[in-house]
Amino acid sequence: MNKILLSLSLASVMYGCNAAGREKNPLLQKDYALADTLHYDHAVIDALRESISGNIIRLAPTLRELNGAAGLEDALQFEYDVTAENSGDYEKLRAVLKKQGYLLFKSEENFGTKPDKYAVLKTNNQFDIIRFRATNGANYDISNDSIMRKLHHLYEKEAFEITGADIDWVEVHLNKLNQADAMTFASDVYEFCPDLAEQGTETVENLAAEILETKQLFLWWD
């Protein structure tokens, strides 16, 4: 009985210390204040701060009024260097946030020149990421609505997860694509993204092989 009481006392002390630490941490309090203005749960901040040490800032929708994102809250954005060593931790964080009703995605690709940026958006609908970032192919007269429709069409054929987006690119993961369907899927994508032919894999066969190998698809219109 004494051992049980001692264990409970220690647990209470540890919880109290952790709570006090959160209360005294000025960076955490700043994060909580930001979360409050966005109507985000403090649990989101707690989850992020297990991996993120830098600043967490507010990210507004790109072209909010023009792309129909007026109904979405602003997002949280931060620098995060996802590597082969910590990719497992990143996926766990993404899963935790998804269960809470938030989607974690790459919001800025810097191609190794500096850390990429990631964002957390309060939504259960992954296509809101495309709406939020106003992703478009203006150089090819491809609107945000066109990209939304095409992605919905592709999703009906082959389920995927949207893992990143910005004004002129989108990244998706296709964990279930099989070899039999890869060529058909690649052909459909190829027609929609001219840069794949001009700057990327050059052939449908190469694109299908790359998707099967990486389980990833990166589309861009620059």
User: How far, in Å, CA of 38 to CA of 95, rounded?
Assistant: 21
pTM score, whole prediction: 0.85
User: How far, in Å, CA of 213 to CA of 216, rounded?
Assistant: 8
- Single-letter code of the amino acid located at 157: K
* Mean pLDDT across 82-97: 95
Residue of 199, 174, 204 whose CA lies nearest to 187: 204
Q: Give the pLDDT confidence score for residue 118 in this predicted structure.
A: 98
What confidence tens digit (pLDDT) does each residue in 42-83 have?
Answer: 999 999 999 999 999 999 998 765 555 667 889 999 999 999
**Quick one: 176 exposed, middle or buried, by C-beta within 10 A (0-12, 13-18, 19+)?**
exposed
Confidence band, pLDDT 50/70/90 cuts, at residue 219: very high
Q: Give the pLDDT confidence score for residue 192 in this predicted structure.
A: 84
**Contact indicator for 100, 108 with CB cutoff of 8 Å:** no
**Contact indicator for 144, 135 with CB cutoff of 8 Å:** yes
Per DSSP, the chain holds a count of helices (H) and strands (E) of 9, 7
What confidence tens digit (pLDDT) does each residue in 120-171 have?
Answer: 999 999 999 999 999 999 888 999 999 999 999 999 999 999 999 999 999 9
User: How far, in Å, CA of 80 to CA of 58, rounded?
Assistant: 15
Alpha carbon of residue 139 to chain centroid: 25
- Tokens 């027609």 belong to residue: 191
Residue of 105, 142, 139, 99 whose CA lies nearest to 121: 105
User: How far, in Å, CA of 211 to CA of 203, rounded?
Assistant: 12
What confidence tens digit (pLDDT) does each residue in 19-45 have?
Answer: 545 555 778 999 999 999 999 999 999
Q: What is the DSSP letter of 142?
A: B
